[in-house]
Every structure is written in structure tokens, then in C-alpha cells.
Amino acid sequence: MKVKTQGWLFLGFLVLLALPLYAQDAKPNPAEEYVRHAQLKLVSRQTVQAEIDELVQTDPPFHMTGTYASAGLRMRLNYQVKLGGGAGGSLLEVCDGERLWSVTTLPGTKRVTRRDVRQILAAMETAKTRPDRAAVVDLALGGLPALLASFQRSMAFDALKEETIDDRKFMVVQARWKPDVAQRFGGDASGGRLPPHVPDLARIYFAADTEFPVRILYLKKPEDKKIFKPLLDLQFRNVVLDGQVDDKLFEFTPPDDVEAEDVTQQYLEQLLPPEPSTKEKK
């Protein structure tokens, strides 16, 4: 599988964050409401800690591992990917509550970005009339809330059910790409087939007792098969909610070998779009 740059590992943990924002449905269904509630509950947590384990079923398959920790606006995500032939890559995101730094390392390339969290939060107050402002901010702040926000912006939830696995209850939400997003991935607006490396749908497994998204399963239906098969399996293990977190995790010194790119303005423009010119108004 060809791994693309643009700040993220394609089909990796934050694959959805590379997508633009899309309008939300006016009347969310029960599955959408559940995801939004789970996202709000996640944001309200004092702290979150978890190990990340992900298997991508390409030819050949490859494995990703990492750790995640958050405490309010502070966040740290450390993610490693092992590719075939000994190649690898990594994604490191660290937010100290004021700036969020992102370092993406792929074979032969390295990208460092930063965004001003406080400036984005201040813009949110100015953009109170925009109904989607909260999702923009979640995307800007990164981490698990951003992942759920991206699901809400890029996928349509079409099912919600309860499942019991190994005596543990889960609420399972199923989602499919919105037509315009599917087009960006090489599909068509009528729901035609997507490329082999792009999943057709996703299922999010929320622990019923905590509403924490412990597993995200991306599924693909092969042309010669009648059932969906796992393409990517992302799991959060050893999850600790509202526990003690080492403050040093949220400290960061930018590397000297790459100049950091400030991407704050991209998020500010989502919150406060520029006024149309006089010609455009006419």
C-alpha cells in the first residue's frame, strides 16, 4: 500500500483528520446522537490513558502501536508503524494546553506543524453563531475527540446496536462514507466501489459502561465475496479513565532539523471564514 504524506499516516490512527469539514445533518438519528454524547463525555474526562494497537490487512499486512494520554487541553499521542522491508514511520502529537505540535516521520520525509490552541479557542467564542464550531475546535485540538469529530463530519451513521463479547457489553455504531467524501477517495456519488485500500464502512465499539471507543473496525467487501472483511482493526487497550498522569508527558521541544509549519490559520478560517469580496457580493 502506498503511504501518503500530508501530515498523517494514510489509513492510520488519525486518517480521518486529513479530511475537510462537511455539513452536519439537521436531524441526527439515534446512532449520531450516541456518538455525539460519547464525544462530549470523552471531552469531560479529567484524564485518559490508553495503549494503541492497530493491524492493517494489506498485502503484506503491517502493524501499528502507540500510546495516548490526555488531561484537559493537554494531550500526547505517540504512534509507530512498521512497514514491509524494515521501513517504518511515526506520528507524535503533543499539546501543552497552549500549542499543539505534530511531528510526522515517513521514509525520506519529516513534517513538523504547530497550531495555537488558545487562539483557536478565542476564535470559537467569536464564532458562537456557527453551529459546527465545536467540531472545528475538536479537530484543531487533536486526539480522540478529534477522531470522533472527524467521523461525524465525514461519515453517515446508519446503525446502532448492543453486543456482548466475552461477557462485556458494547454499543456498536456503524458508519459509511458520505457521498462527497467517497468521491474524494475515488468512489462515486451513487455509491460505486471504492479503491481496494479504502474501507467501505466502519464500526465503532463503545464500552457500554463508560461510552469510551475501545475499538474501531474498518471493513471492506471484496469483489468476489458476499461478506465484509476487516481491513483495519484499531484497538485501545489498558484504558485508564480519570487517573493520575505524569505532567512531563505534555512537554515538547521541537526538532532542530525541520522548520515547523504554523497551521493555525487553517482552523481559524474554518471558524471565521473571510468576508466575500465586493465583486463576489454582486
C-beta separation of 45 from 241 below 8 A: yes
Higher pLDDT, 270 or 199: 199
The three-state DSSP-derived secondary structure of the chain is CCCCCCCCCCCCCCHHHHCCCCCCCCCCCHHHHHHHHHHHHHHHCCCEEEEEEEEECCCCCEEEEEEEEEECCEEEEEEEEECHHHCEEEEEEEEECCEEEEEEEECCEEEEEEEEHHHHHHHHHHCCCCCCHHHHHHHHHCHHHHHHHHHHHHEEEEEEEEEEECCEEEEEEEEEECHHHHHHCCCCCCCCCCCCCCCCEEEEEEECCCCCEEEEEEEECCCCCCCCEEEEEEEEEEEEECCCCCHHHHCCCCCCCCCCEECHHHHHHHHCCCCCCHHHHC
Position 205 pLDDT exceeds 90:
yes
Q: Would you state the pLDDT for residue 275? A: 63
Highest averaged pLDDT of the listed ranges 205-209, 228-232, 268-272: 205-209
Position 221 pLDDT exceeds 90:
no
Domain ranges of the chain: 28-270
- Residues 109-160 pLDDT 10s: 899 999 998 888 887 777 665 555 555 555 566 788 888 888 888 899 989 9
Q: What are phi and psi of 125, to 5 degrees?
A: -65, -35
Tell me which CATH homologous superfamily contains domain 28-270: Lipoprotein localisation LolA/LolB/LppX (2.50.20.10)
Crossing angle of helices 133-141 and 264-271, in 10° steps, is: 170
Q: Would you state the pLDDT for residue 106? A: 85
Q: Would you state the pLDDT for residue 151? A: 86
- Residues 8-57 pLDDT 10s: 333 343 444 344 444 444 566 899 999 989 988 998 899 999 999 998 88
Label residue 235 by pLDDT band (50, 70, 90): very high
Cβ partners under 8 Å of residue 206, min gap 6: 34, 38, 170, 171, 172, 173, 212, 213, 214
Average of pLDDT values for 175-194?
78
Q: Would you state the pLDDT for residue 56? A: 83
CA distance 185 to 168: 35
pTM of the model: 0.78
- Residues 62-117 pLDDT 10s: 788 999 999 988 999 998 887 666 778 899 999 998 999 999 988 888 999 999 98
- Residues 58-68 pLDDT 10s: 777 778 899 99
